[in-house]
Chain A
Amino acid sequence: MKPYIAILYDSLIESIQSRVLWILLAAWSLILIALFPLSLSEGESYRVRMGEITNAKTVLDQLATASSGKGTRSQKLVYAAIDQEFQNALQDRQKSGRRIAVGRLVTALNTVMDKPDLYDHDAWPTAERRSELKELINKENKSPEELQKLNRRLLDLAFPGSLRSSSGQATWITYAGMKFTDPLPFTLRQIRPFIEASLFPFIMWVGLGQIAMMIAIVITSSMIPDMFQTGSLHLLLSKPLSRSLLYLSKYLGGCIFVALNISFLVVGLYFYSGLQLGIWNRGILWCIPLFIFAFMVFYSVSALVGLIWKNPIICVVVTALFWGACFTIGTVRGLSEAFLRGPPTVQRILAVGDTPIVASQQGRIQLWNDKDRVWQTGFGEVDGQRVIGPVWQADESSLYFGRTRFIPFGLGGGETIRLELARLPELGKAPEGGANSEVTGKKLWDDSRLDSVQDLPADTFDLIPWKKGFLAASTDGVYWFDAERAAKADQQKISVLGFDLKIPQANETYKRLTEADWGLRKPLAVGLSNSLDALILVSRDKLLLMKHSEGKDGKFEKTREMQLDIPAEAVVNLAVSDSLAIVCPNAEVPLVVNLETMELVRELTEIGKANIKRTAVANDGRAAILSTDGDLWILSPDDSDSRLKVSKPSIAGQGDISTMHFDPSNRLWVCHNVKQIDVFSSEMKPAGLSFYPRKTTPEWIYDYIINPFYLVNPKPAAINETIQYVLRNPENKVNAIDRSDLDIPQVQRDPWQPIWSNGIFILVMLALGCWQLYRQDL
């Protein structure tokens, strides 16, 4: 046996014979035994859940109508079945407009679920046509589950479009077979990505990465100082061993102890996850080397300190300080980024003449103030809301945009989206290419909200300028907002007791330009081809071309379609340039489709697999696409054929670009480094316009102190990203992208980068240790 192997072997034997190891293993065993009965069990539950009510307002309106004896018979029966207290609340709402929380509605609807006599043939005449319901209706003695299922289906039929149909699949958290929570509205298959992407990494990082790591540091702290006991070290040094390798062997020996502990616990968790949760995730086993690696980072510090001071207490203290320093620097940077880089990042640019109007991630609409060199917020400072649009109506010098409450992870689908209007008469008058300083510096907005205008259709995801107004694309259809008509309607008032009241415009604000049952499914993207006068849509795995008919109803009708190969979980961006459509499913290679022939022209292999978050099209046929990594590509038409020439321009901020926009003069406005804007000519030369706001003090501190410090600081916590990466199943990787909003900064860093950076740190620390041991007189 080689001497160094002998030291490692000896460390292994020492670990095995250590009482501490067995105490720890016993502790881990107890934890695993306690954890083992905790499980997930799948079953059926048809109870109404919060997320299944897509339009609470409509349901409440319909129930209120039923309370006055109007509405459908089924709704009246549901109203009759709900409890008296809620009925009273509905009547209050009718009279005083008092709001009812969605949670209360859910509770009320669930009281209906257990009513044995809800079904009435006349109220639900179509129910018996469905075989599933017919069977339940005709069954004599229904089990509680069957009754729930029947009543739920009846509720779905009573409120079509407002209640999402329930599959009945639900999951309970159980302990030793006992259900002790309400059912979770997910199937195991749906929960799995969450468990793998969030719960496992959290448990792993907090349990193993923090608690077990601290224990390991304390226990191993004496190993290197022990080596320096005179009677022990001198004998080792008298053997034909290199000092450096002796030190490295001892260092690795310390890691063996931790490896035994981590392996035991992680293998236990692997089997727990597989046997109890049905998740056999090999990524859990990959965590073993990753945690050992994380420990090696801390132990390299502890070992060096042990070498210098030869005192285990100092080892623990300095290692804890190192940990604290890493944590503090990481947290300070994280917080600084959260405030300085996330929310203020410009996500949309709209150029009106030479004046940029931007929408930031935090939901602010801002104008450039050239005098103070700042982005000046207009139309109230309402943070934390997502902006849809904006679109500019030149005739009225008006800016329209939608504002929705920002909720991450796509849970904001049921939220209302308010249409906002800002009149900018001064900006409208500014000459093309003229200075805008006169416009800014004073009150920017004529805050003339269209009070009478209804909210934008639910799930509106894009606003596209069209005729005198805009198209609002939602999952429910494409609607046209006629600005002229809305403005006129907004003038209509009635006088009540001396007060002017505007008349609500019911459903006529938005004209649906697609059939009611247009049956589109996510992933969904929309674009407009002006030359073809057609709406281009990506729906699930189809590319649809919908021509605008100039008939009476002026609707878009599907004329052609093409099959695409897009994963169901993907997010799609679409750029339509005359007769070409560039389809960008995330994590896939963008495709170019000829809209006239509906044929695939080419795959943009120059770009490769990328997550595209924004597209823009110029009047001259050029297109720009931007990835979530901040890389911008320009696609220019090639005269020789219908192919597009792809180039990645060398411009300032390339790699950190957040958005871009082509103005009517085909100039490209590019925002980079959070909120700096450069403007480029059609030849991608600087157009002499740039908007660089002055740095604030916190920004200075971030740029010149916090960030440089963070760059040179080791980042053991970043190994968590690698752990998250290995725990995530390949088929769930697309889920890592927030599908509701690609503007939310996506952590798409190289998952192995922390291994490299921390590996370099370990090597540096070990090299210092070897050098210290070499030069040291012992």
Chain B
Amino acid sequence: MPLAIDVQNLSKTYREGLFVPRVHPALKEVSLEVGQGEVFGLLGPNGAGKTTLIKVLLGILHPSRGSAQVLQLPAGSKGARRKIGYLPENLIFPRHHTGRSALYFYGRLSEMTDSEIRKREEELFELVSLSGRQHEAVRRYSKGMRQRLGLAQAMLHDPDLLILDEPTDGLDPMGRSQIRDVLDRLKKRGKTVFLNSHILQEVELICDRVAIMALGQLRAIGTIDELVRQHTDDSKSSLKIEVLGAAKSIESILANVPNLPTAVPHSISPILTNGGSEELTRIGIASIDQSGADAVVDCLRIHKISILRLERARPSLEQVFMNMVHSANGDAAPRDPSSSR
């Protein structure tokens, strides 16, 4: 598969201070490849170097070391930029534009003729649900509308590669769903999408592959399944059970489970019911193997406790992400996020 993005050993170091120069490495020996037609997600906490990487791909920053190619062209070259559609984070449109005039302006900057823009505008406004609002001044647009307009301008010149920096930021659930639909359609048309997002669930839903960055380094790269498999202990996963019974009695029952060590983090909390006479309790165990889970279920049933619901949660991307970030920071591995609920 030809590569849409090919980054090899890329490093970027910022130098600050005039008299006492300080060196701040933003990217350290980053290498990644994104195939054409892929929807690729770049994850990482703030300050991980994601935006720096995008800036290098767009030619906004000059790399200190290493190489980056976009669509087989040097990153930042005019030829490469012609084939890229970019939606920046916190996009600001000049205040004097209407939605339509902004689309024309950025279309012209992308070397499109007015007639080419005219052919595409209606379809795009329809696509981003801004039909009928395109003649309004952008300064009156909501953040979501601006974001959708930004997406429209990024797609206007039908680029081979879309680089989207937090595309769903500030959007309501409907807006997010619309963006996801748009990205699905782009994917079907064989376009490459390079997505930078904080919203892990979204990335899980859309992306074919993801990369996780932390402290300027690439910590992991692969499909979501691969990452989950590689970076979590699949034999131990969380267990959630909802049972009929008082929390106190359940707690005493669970104390008798032979294979449930006290060290395993777990929670037992009553569930408020709608005025019913029977009490409901939720049991949450962060990490437990299959034999432990069997023992818990057996013990509950021996004590005639009715199990209303049982969920054996699979390790998530979020868990992988948290593990990666924390290990990069030198922290202890985090608890299963579900255990806190």
Contact = CB atoms under 8 A, between A and B. Distances in A.
A237 B58 contact: yes
B110 A240 contact: yes
Most buried by B among A229, A238, A242: A238
A241 B110 CA distance: 8
Given A13-B101, A240-B81, A3 B94 contact: no
A23 interface: no
Interface in A201-246: 229-232, 234-242
A544 B187 CA distance: 100
Contacts of B106: 235, 239
Contact of A239 (B79, B89, B93, B110): B110
Contacts of B113: 1
A6 B91 CA distance: 20
Interface string B74-85: 000011011010
B180 interface: no
B92 A232 contact: yes
Nearest to B80: A240
A14 interface: yes
B108 A3 contact: yes
A236 B88 CA distance: 10
B60 A6 contact: no
Nearest to A239: B109
A231 B89 contact: yes
B96 A239 contact: no
B62 interface: yes
A7 B111 CA distance: 12
B86 A18 contact: no
A632 B105 CA distance: 62
B96 A238 contact: no
B90 interface: yes
B90 A231 contact: yes
Contact of B96 (A17, A230, A232, A235): A17
A506 interface: no
A231 B89 CA distance: 6
Nearest to A777: B61
Contacts of B108: 1-3, 6
A778 interface: yes
A248 to B, nearest CB: 15
A10 interface: yes
Most buried by B among A13, A17, A239: A239
B114 interface: yes
Contacts of B61: 777-778
A232 B89 CA distance: 10
B91 A231 contact: yes
A238 B14 contact: no
Contacts, number: 76
A14 B101 CA distance: 11
Interface in B86-126: 86, 88-94, 96, 101, 105-106, 108-111, 113-114
A761 to B, nearest CB: 26
A232 B79 CA distance: 21
A236 B153 CA distance: 12
Given A3-B108, A3-B111, A237-B59, A229 B86 contact: no
Contact of A234 (B55, B79, B110, B111): B55
A231 B88 contact: yes
B74 to A, nearest CB: 13
Interface string A1-35: 11100110010011001100000000000000000
Most buried by A among B14, B92, B114, B163: B92
Interface in B38-84: 55, 58-62, 78-79, 81-82, 84
A551 B280 CA distance: 149
B105 A778 contact: no
Nearest to A237: B60
B110 A18 contact: no
Given A235-B86, A239-B109, A1 B114 contact: yes
Contacts of A2: 108
A229 B92 contact: yes
Given A13-B101, A238-B60, A239-B81, A232 B94 contact: yes
Contacts of B109: 3, 6-7, 236, 239-241
A554 to B, nearest CB: 87
Contacts of A238: 58, 60, 81, 84, 86, 88, 163
B251 to A, nearest CB: 53
Interface string A734-778: 000000000000000000000000000000000000000000011
B96 A14 contact: yes
B86 A778 contact: no
A240 B92 contact: no
Nearest to A234: B88
Contacts of A17: 96
Given A17-B96, A240-B81, A240-B82, A234 B105 contact: no
Contacts of B93: 232
Contacts of B105: 6, 10
A14 B91 contact: no
A240 B58 contact: no
A251 B55 CA distance: 24
Contacts of A18: 96
B94 A234 contact: no
Nearest to A1: B108
Contacts of A234: 55, 58, 60, 86, 88
30 contacts: A1-B114, A3-B108, A3-B110, A10-B105, A17-B96, A229-B92, A230-B90, A231-B90, A231-B91, A231-B92, A232-B92, A234-B55, A234-B86, A234-B88, A235-B106, A235-B150, A237-B58, A237-B59, A237-B60, A238-B58, A238-B84, A239-B81, A239-B110, A240-B79, A240-B81, A240-B109, A240-B110, A240-B111, A242-B78, A778-B60
The 8 closest A-B pairs by CB, nearest first: A6-B108, A238-B86, A231-B92, A239-B109, A17-B96, A231-B90, A240-B78, A240-B81
Given A231-B92, A234-B88, A240-B109, 4 more contacts: A230-B88, A232-B91, A235-B88, A240-B78
